[in-house]
Amino acid sequence: MNLKDILAISGKSGLFKFISQGRSGIIVESFDDKKRSVIHSSSKVSALEDIAIFTDTEEVPLGDIFNKVFEKEGGKETINHKSSPDELKALMKEILPDYDGKRVYVSDMKKLVQWYNMLIKLDLLKPTEESEEEKKKEEKKEKKVVNVQGKTKIAASQKVKTYEKSKPSVKDKAVKSNIPKTKAK
């Protein structure tokens, strides 16, 4: 599922599809009535891809939550978003047992259920598993050996460790000697 182009806009109900960038904001199309409108840059716009649910240990992306609900419900709609708070909390506990009850409010659960049901109705929600190419790219990112000017570095998930210091090469000395020295006044 590609949640990058599906937007939630503060103050507007429903979900929107990103169409284009305009002069004064972005152009979106409502999934409800298929009308296009301009959302000004002062509005709070969130792509569903960027939204996550708090747990006790980490933040779980909304796409992963949607996949879990999809598996639980067998690809069909789940409970109504107007269900009682106890039913919503029970559903959340079943899907994500370690969700943070202090930071995840019932209103958040209602949005999650409403968005899930809307995406199912529109047939935009398909479970996706990581392709082999994505897994290989992640493995390469985790272990990448870089040789820069005689220094061997291993980059693992944005952490770089230097193992060996090198002496300046002849080329480095030549470049340094061409720099004119200024006299102190």
Residue 178 pLDDT grade (very low, low, confident, very high; cuts 50, 70, 90) = low
CB contact burial 58-88 (16+ within 10 A = b; e otherwise): eebebbebbbebbeebeeeebeebeeeeeeb
Residue 165 pLDDT grade (very low, low, confident, very high; cuts 50, 70, 90) = very low
pLDDT at residue 153 in the model: 47
**Mean pLDDT of all residues in the chain?**
76
Residue 26 pLDDT grade (very low, low, confident, very high; cuts 50, 70, 90) = very high
Q: Where are the domains of the chain?
A: 6-47, 51-116, 135-177
Which CATH code for domain 51-116?
A: 1.10.10.1650
Mean pLDDT of the 138-166 span: 47
DSSP the chain: ---TTEEEETTS-S-EEEEEE-SSEEEEEETTT--EEEEETTS-EEEGGG-EEEBSSSEEEHHHHHHHHHHHHTTS--S-TTS-HHHHHHHHHHH-TTB-TTTS-HHHHHHHHHHHHHHHHTT--------HHHHHHHHHHHSEEEEETTEEEEEETTEEEE----PPPHHHHHHHHTSPPPPP-
Q: Is the pLDDT of residue 11 over 80?
A: yes
Q: For domain 6-47, say whether CATH 2.60.40 is its number.
A: no
Residue 3 pLDDT grade (very low, low, confident, very high; cuts 50, 70, 90) = confident
- pLDDT, one tens digit per residue, over 43-86 is 899 998 998 999 888 999 988 888 889 988 888 888 888 888 89
Most confident of 120-129, 130-139, 141-150: 120-129
pLDDT at residue 184 in the model: 58
Q: Is the pLDDT of residue 185 over 50?
A: yes
pLDDT at residue 128 in the model: 59
Mean pLDDT of the 109-123 span: 90
> The whole model's pTM is what?
0.65
Q: Is the pLDDT of residue 100 over 80?
A: yes
